[in-house]
Amino acid sequence: MTAPAVDVREVWKRYGDTDVVIDLSFDVHPGEVLGFLGPNGSGKTTTMRMILDIVRPNQGHIEVFGDPPGVEHQTRVGYLPEDRGLYRDVKIIDTLTYFGALRGMSRKEAHDKAMALLTEMELADAAEKKAGELSRGMHQKAQLIATILNDPDLLIIDEPFQGLDPVNADMLKGVVRAEKDRGAAVIMSTHDMGDAQTLCDRILLINHGKRLLYGTVDQVRDAFSDGAVEVSGTDIPRSAEGLQSVTDINEVDGAVRYLIVEGATPQDLFRELASSGAEVDHFAVQAPSLDEIFIRTVAGDPRAEAVR
């Protein structure tokens, strides 16, 4: 495997008496998307800012391209913060050209590349508009263009699809995939587990600054492989009341999806269904979705130990 673009080892960050990042370790490699997951206030943004050298850790070690984080890496790193911020009273093409020049591109090169990306993202007609005149979706696409304009080797993107309509979200997901295929290392913070499951090679879930899950999507789901059962038939219970082996129930495409409580097995559920008088036509053990795993891990499910 290639050397990591980012290597975080036993990092702590403290503000006053509060530890917001605690003994955190992970890495991300070129050509890989790492999904950075966690509830609000879990320490994700602080960690990204430490990688960017905006804040410094109290303890531990961070390397970016084999060296400590610093201004010398700024032309190789693209950062899309959650709080968007283009110059409201400046034309989009002028803003993008300026950002490209700051990252070492000639003004002509930056202008031409910006126009090509604006056209690709169906924003060519907005090139002469000011940022304050753009819709939220247009503004978000323009800011992503600013982030990738100079083909950075590392992308750190915070909630890139939040608030977008499905068409624009799919377009930006295509950009993330293209950046990965180009060889960039991508750290993507998201609350959407569906995006994490489809876009990410590995995921890192933290809560209260601590690492709870870390591994490939398949490794994480395999660790919870006995955690969900999909059932269809007649008189199938749609409430967890009276089912000792079940912690949650959802209906999916006409079937009932049961989440198995820690310590129970799918066989326990099958016996309970038989005792309830249900006539089972379909009984399939499935790995839970990342959404379900996220909720259970934050709640303390011990199966997370296998991929911590």
Can you give the pLDDT at residue 226? Answer: 64
Question: Tens digits of per-residue pLDDT, 102-138?
Answer: 988 999 999 999 999 999 999 999 999 998 998 888 8
List all residues 6 or more positions away from 277 whose beta carbon is below 8 Å from its beta carbon. Answer: 235
Domain residue ranges of the chain, discontinuous segments joined by +: 6-217, 226-286
Q: How far apart are CA 147 and CA 143, in angstroms?
A: 6
Give which of 246, 217, 218 is closest to 231, Cα–Cα.
246
Can you give the pLDDT at residue 268? Answer: 93
159 — phi, psi (to 5°)? 50, 60
Give which of 272, 275, 274, 276 is closest to 261, Cα–Cα.
272
Q: Is 88 in a helix, a strand, or coil?
A: coil
Can you give the pLDDT at residue 194? Answer: 85
- Output the average pLDDT for the chain: 90
Annotate 255-267 with b (16+ C-beta within 10 A) or e (fewer). Answer: bbbbbbbeebebe
Instruction: Give the relative orientation of helices 92-102 and 107-120 as an angle to the nearest 10 degrees.
Output: 130
Can you give the pLDDT at residue 244? Answer: 92
Sequential DSSP letters for 159-177: STTTT--HHHHHHHHHHHH
Residue type, 267: Q
**What is the CATH code of the structural domain delimited by 6-217?**
3.40.50.300
Q: How many CB atoms lie within 10 A of CB 71?
A: 7
Mean pLDDT by 10 residues, the chain (308 residues): 91 95 97 94 94 95 94 90 83 95 93 96 94 88 93 94 87 94 96 89 94 91 79 91 87 87 88 92 85 80 75
Give which of 178, 223, 222 is closest to 33, Cα–Cα.
178
Taking the alpha carbons at both ends of the chain, their separation in whole angstroms is: 21
Give which of 198, 39, 268 is closest to 259, Cα–Cα.
268
Q: Which CATH architecture has domain 226-286?
A: 2-Layer Sandwich (3.30)
Can you give the pLDDT at residue 222? Answer: 78
Q: How far apart are CA 15 and CA 210, in angstroms?
A: 15
Can you give the pLDDT at residue 305? Answer: 78
Give which of 15, 305, 34, 23 is closest to 158, Cα–Cα.
34
Tokens found for residue 289: 């979705």
- CA 112 vs. chain centroid, Å, equals 31
